[in-house]
Amino acid sequence: MQYKLLWIKAHGYAFSSVEELLHSLGGSGFINMTRRSLSESLLELGVSQRFIDEVIAPIMRVNYGQNISIPAFVGAVSLAGAQANLWAVEGGNKLVCSGLLKLAKANLIQSPVTTITLRSTGDYHQYELTYDSQNEKSSELYDIVVVATPLQQNINSGISFQGFEPQLPEIAGSYHQTVASIIHGYLNCTYFGFPDPKLFPFSSILTTDTPGLFFNSAASVCPVNITSGFRRKQPQEAGVYKVFSPKPLERSELKTLFKSYYSVQVTDWLAYPHYGSTQGLPPVVLHENLYFLNGIEWAGSAMEMSSVAAKNIALLAYHRWNRQLEMIDQKDLMHKVKTEL
């Protein structure tokens, strides 16, 4: 898939929907993976139910806070992130965004957009973006707009769309709540069956889909900048742990996981889509030259997936603006890729 994607993007092809993008990479098989559950797909491949329950399910819980009923495609994305030899960004993932902004020499207006209004003159459309700037309203006209935030109702993006007739279709679905707790303290190894913490061999703890269990995972975390002399804290030492849970941890639950702790930082957020095996994929094109990036999350939510969507929309907007329609939704790309590779 990686080589197909590189080939397609290197040649400048673009796709007007998430389905077309997935089809270009994996044919109807990838489309079907967004419509069938992970457990069903794995069972058909001969994976045992026990392996699914004890290995696959914990990976889904740590990555998406959900179970093995999620679609097979996002399940595959989740499993890819559980392999060894993965890349990391020294200094943290936020440097990807700041680095791209610097390379693009973009004029960044650090103000929240509140309204996108369609302004039409005949067949020519522009979009007026209204945003809050230093406690006052400002607005600018744009020919092309990319919305790069979820638009589902339970997210409350704060953006209203005006002047569209008919109104833009509602983006279905909701986002899944997860709670990330960063805890500095001493892990209670006894709770995990190791009375002597020096014998505790794990840096990460995943969990099966067990009724009543109050957390999804717990893991020792490392700094984003690792020095040459860095050493991961041993279980008998005070370390920094990241705990994922479906709701904020109560004091009694914290005391169950930790013998004692110095600090707790909690982020309660709608982190990724709440997946269902029969849902459709949101549109990429909301209106003429108005694009929606986050629909890709409903195929698979990951920064790598968002990067693919961003590159695709950049190419799509360019080709549509310049009427290069032959570069959009090519039907024979699978054959071309196989021929050249």
168 inside domain: no
Using the Cα atoms of residue 97, residue 156, residue 250 and residue 192 in order, give the sign of their dihedral: negative
Answer yes or no: is pLDDT of 117 > 90: yes
Whole-model pTM: value is: 0.90
282 inside domain: no
Copy the structure tokens of residue 234.
């041993």
pLDDT of residue 299: 95
Answer yes or no: is pLDDT of 160 > 70: yes
| Distance (Å, whole) CA 273 – CA 157 | 14
| Distance (Å, whole) CA 185 – CA 340 | 55
- Please give the average per-residue pLDDT across 48-74, as a whole number: 96
- Please give the average per-residue pLDDT across 272-281, as a whole number: 82
39 inside domain: no
Taking phi over 0 as left and psi of -120 to 50 as alpha, with beta for the rest, 55 belongs to alpha
- Please give the average per-residue pLDDT across 271-296, as a whole number: 91
More confident residue, 1 or 244: 244
CA distances to 12, 41, 127, 299 from 330, rounded to whole Å, are 11, 28, 29, 20
For the chain, the average pLDDT equals 91
pLDDT of residue 5: 58
- Please give the average per-residue pLDDT across 92-101, as a whole number: 90
Copy the structure tokens of residue 49.
């139910």
How do residues 177-214 score in pLDDT, each as one tens digit?
999 999 999 999 999 999 999 999 999 999 999 999 99
26-30, 42-46, 69-73, 240-244: the lowest-pLDDT one: 26-30
Copy the structure tokens of residue 184.
């500095």
pLDDT of residue 336: 65
24-33, 206-215, 237-246, 292-301: the lowest-pLDDT one: 24-33
Q: Are 173 and 181 in contact (CB under 8 A)?
A: no
295 inside domain: no
Which H or E run contains 26? Answer: helix 18-33
pLDDT of residue 7: 55
3-state SS class at 195: coil
Answer yes or no: is pLDDT of 104 > 80: yes
pLDDT of residue 318: 96
333 inside domain: no
Answer yes or no: is pLDDT of 340 > 60: no
CA distances to 204, 220, 252 from 186, rounded to whole Å, are 14, 11, 15
241 inside domain: yes
227 inside domain: no
Is-cis flag, bond preceding 211, omega within 30?
Answer: no
- Please give the average per-residue pLDDT across 62-76, as a whole number: 96
- Please give the average per-residue pLDDT across 135-141, as a whole number: 90
Answer yes or no: is pLDDT of 86 > 70: yes
267 inside domain: yes
pLDDT of residue 232: 86
Count structural domains, the chain: 1
Answer yes or no: is pLDDT of 168 > 60: yes
pLDDT of residue 196: 96
Residue pointed to by tokens 């290197």: 10
Domain hosting 200: range is 178-222+233-273
User: Residue 26: CA atoms inside 13 Å, Cβ hemisphere, count?
Assistant: 12
Q: Are 193 and 180 in contact (CB under 8 A)?
A: no
Answer yes or no: is pLDDT of 222 > 90: no
